Amino acid sequence: MALHQPYRFAVALFAGDGSSLGSVPAKRDWEPAIEWTRFHFQRRGDLALDGSGDVSILPLWERSVGEPYCRGYSIEIARPGGRPVAWDFPKTHFRELASTAASIFVERQLLHEGDSYSYILVAYPAPQESPEINGLTVTNTSPQLPVQEASPKTLLARAKPYGAIDNDDMPVFISGQLLAEAAQRTHGAEGTETGGILIGLLGRDAASGDIFAHATAQIPAEHTTGTEVKLTFTPQTWAAADAALRLRGRGECYLGYWHSHPVRRWCAAKACSAEQQKNCPLAKDFFSADDQAVMRAAFPRAYSIAIVANDTAFADLSFSMFGNREGILGQPRGFYVLEEETSAT
């Protein structure tokens, strides 16, 4: 599965008066958008589960003025014997890059801190280059989805929604026991970040064809280094998790990870008032750049999820879930909590 980039993108910045500041190459990490596009069409049944078609990144030209000005970009995936599938993404995906570029122009004294600016996205044909570099073929690969045929009906019968459910997101079911274990570990860590690896099953509804995830358990993250603000996974962490997964022998796969945010400790260190703590943006649905980096490196699949256990001083422990939505990592999303099954007496 080759990755084709026939165009080079750049972000051009303009000062508040409309004068040009310059442009910077748009060196974007395309993989989250590619993963999301592939998974989106796999869920619809438009792509095979191995998703092996070549991928192209193409500009979406502005309708009024045309090239080189872009309103966004498109991820196109080839299908053997059929027309390719494609999904369009807005130019707002380059907003963070534009902000970084603005900081560069501030350093060059072409902008002042706090000045307004605007940006446009442009694209130009890339020079024709061989796909072979130093004898290696540049490809973009993604393993086949570990999907099993299953029905979510029995899960929905004992599920309660948690957070805002977006029907466009892949349904995720979380074992109540899993969350109880995460809460116990969070309280036991006494203000230090702790966490675990989420494992479970990917199911495909035979009736609708859609794909859902069922997180059946968490493997405590051993051999980690935890502080008040960061949890670091080590090679020993992954080795222990692999061994535990094999020992279970239930056909489960890695779905993501969870970790705690000891917000009460953060607030105590800053001597925040009770009212400040209740309004703190860190108290819920906060997913840091470090959190995103872990997700991008260790759990890059579009179905991957992350759970944060929010330990605050003003409320009971709560949970937030994050995922990849339309190519953007760390987007808050809802899920379903499963009540434990009871045996008939």
Beta bridge partners of 75: 57, 87
pTM: 0.89
| The two structure tokens encoding residue 289 | 């750049």
| The two structure tokens encoding residue 205 | 């509804």
292-321 pLDDT, tens digit per residue, is: 999 999 999 999 999 999 999 888 999 999
Residue 135 has pLDDT above 50, yes or no: no
Class level of CATH domain 147-338: alpha beta
Confidence of residue 81 (pLDDT cuts 50, 70, 90): confident
Residue 231 has pLDDT above 60, yes or no: yes
Residue 257 has pLDDT above 90, yes or no: yes
Q: What is the pLDDT of residue 299?
A: 95
Can you spell out the DSSP letters for 217-264? EEEE--S-EE-SS-EE--HHHHHHHHHHHHHH-S--EEEEEEEEE-HH
Confidence of residue 255 (pLDDT cuts 50, 70, 90): very high
**Phi and psi (nearest 5°) for 108?**
-85, 0
Question: If you count them, how many residues does the chain have?
Answer: 345
Higher pLDDT, 273 or 217: 217
Q: What is the pLDDT of residue 261?
A: 95
Q: What is the pLDDT of residue 134?
A: 44
| The two structure tokens encoding residue 314 | 């003003």
Residues 63, 3: Cα–Cα separation, whole Å: 26
> Residue 302: what residue type?
A
Q: What is the pLDDT of residue 314?
A: 86
Q: Are strands 147-150 and 195-205 parallel, antiparallel or unpaired?
A: parallel
Confidence of residue 276 (pLDDT cuts 50, 70, 90): confident
- Mean pLDDT for the stretch of residues 113-125: 94
Residue 133 has pLDDT above 80, yes or no: no
Residue 137 has pLDDT above 80, yes or no: no
**Mean pLDDT lowest among 136-145, 156-165, 167-176:** 136-145
Residues 233, 221: Cα–Cα separation, whole Å: 8
- Mean pLDDT for the stretch of residues 284-293: 92
Residue 345 has pLDDT above 50, yes or no: no
- Mean pLDDT for the stretch of residues 157-180: 96
Confidence of residue 340 (pLDDT cuts 50, 70, 90): confident
Rounded mean pLDDT of the chain?
90
Residue 344 has pLDDT above 70, yes or no: no
Q: What is the pLDDT of residue 343?
A: 46
Residue 216 has pLDDT above 60, yes or no: yes
- In the chain, where are the structural domains located? 3-137, 147-338
Confidence of residue 270 (pLDDT cuts 50, 70, 90): confident
Higher pLDDT, 110 or 143: 110
Quote the percentage of the chain above a pLDDT of 70. 94
